[in-house]
A and B are shown apart, each in its own frame.
Chain A
Amino acid sequence: DVKVTQSSRYLVKRTGEKVFLECVQDMDHENMFWYRQDPGLGLRLIYFSYDVKMKEKGDIPEGYSVSREKKERFSLILESASTNQTSMYLCASSPPGEWRGYEQYFGPGTRLTVT
């Protein structure tokens, strides 16, 4: 059974803290994604990585950075958390190919609250 796991299901942080969200996939996928999900807005892409140490900004990268040191692990970093970063964060992975959404698998999500 394919798996994308995220380090925390729920996280509460204070404004200004540095926050690390970890994602691990066991499918040997080249592509990994971090999305943010807010009610009525759909999933919005924060960052995309197509290989180890490679990354590409998504639609809303401001306030975030990422790290991909190993193929199976993709980390999202909030350098200084703010209340407007309270959201559900979803990690996903997919194999390389014509469509990034093809065989894209999602993790269970991390609900982050910044107070």
Chain B
Amino acid sequence: GESVGLHLPTLSVQEGDNSIINCAYSNSASDYFIWYKQESGKGPQFIIDIRSNMDKRQGQRVTVLLNKTVKHLSLQIAATQPGDSAVYFCAECSPYDKVIFGPGTSLSVIP
């Protein structure tokens, strides 16, 4: 039968509100970070990235904030829409080394 896996943290937001998804990264040597969106039944899709020489980067309706002091990354989604419902996870990269992925957060948008 099916195995019971760990449950993802879940964030529920009202449509139109802003969403903030957090990620703690592990490697002090990581200097490039990525946020991915994964919709049900699909592969991860790039949303936005940031290099360690920046604290903030903005895209279309998304902003990533990086706090290297506490090894923390956040993704802000403005005016959340039903199409934003997905699992979001961060990834950290250090030079010529493997990519480390976070476990993910499930975002549920309430219409």
Instruction: Answer yes or no: A100 CB below 8 A from chain B CBs.
Output: yes
Does B24 sit within 8 A of A, measured CB to CB? no
Q: Is the CB of B43 within 8 A of A39?
A: no
- With a cutoff of 8 Å between Cβ atoms, the chain B residues found around residue A102 in the complex are 32, 49, 93
Contact in complex: B103, A45 (CB < 8 Å): no
Produce 1/0 per residue, B38-50, CB < 8 A to A: 0001111110010
- With A38-B5, A43-B101, A86-B3 known to touch, is A100 a contact of B43 (CB < 8 Å)? no
Q: Is there a chain A Cβ closer than 8 Å to B70's Cβ?
A: no
Taking a contact as CB atoms under 8 Å apart, the answer to whether B98 and A98 are in contact is no
Q: A40-B5, A41-B6, A99-B93 are in contact. Are A90 and B98 (CB under 8 A)?
A: no
Considering only residues 58-92 of chain A, those with a C-beta below 8 Å from chain B are 58-59, 86, 90, 92
- Contact of A40 with B98 in the complex, beta carbons under 8 Å: no
A residues near B (Cβ < 8 Å) are 4, 9, 38-45, 48, 58-59, 86, 90, 92, 98-109
Which residues of the partner chain A approach B5 to less than 8 Å between Cβ atoms? 38-41
Count of chain B residues near A, Cβ 8 A:
28
- Whole-angstrom distance between the Cβ of A40 and the nearest chain B Cβ: 2
Cα A39 to Cα B42 in complex, Å, equals 14
* Given A39-B5, A42-B103, A106 and B32 contact (CB-CB distance below 8 Å): no
CB pair B97 A106 closer than 8 Å: no
User: When the two chains form their complex, are residues A106 and B95 in contact, meaning their CB atoms are under 8 A apart?
Assistant: no
Report whether A106 and B44 are in contact in the complex, using a CB–CB cutoff of 8 Å.
Answer: yes
Q: Is the CB of A40 within 8 A of B7?
A: yes
Task: Pick 20 A–B contacts, CB within 8 A, sort by A.
Answer: A4-B43, A38-B5, A39-B6, A40-B5, A40-B7, A40-B103, A42-B89, A43-B89, A43-B101, A44-B101, A58-B98, A59-B98, A86-B2, A90-B44, A99-B95, A100-B97, A101-B32, A101-B99, A104-B46, A108-B43
Task: Tell whether B107 is near chain A: CB-to-CB under 8 Å.
Answer: no
A-facing mask of B15-46, CB < 8 A → 1, else 0?
00000000000000000101000000111111
- Most chain A CB within 10 A, of B34, B43, B49, is at B43
B77 CB-CB contact with A under 8 Å: no
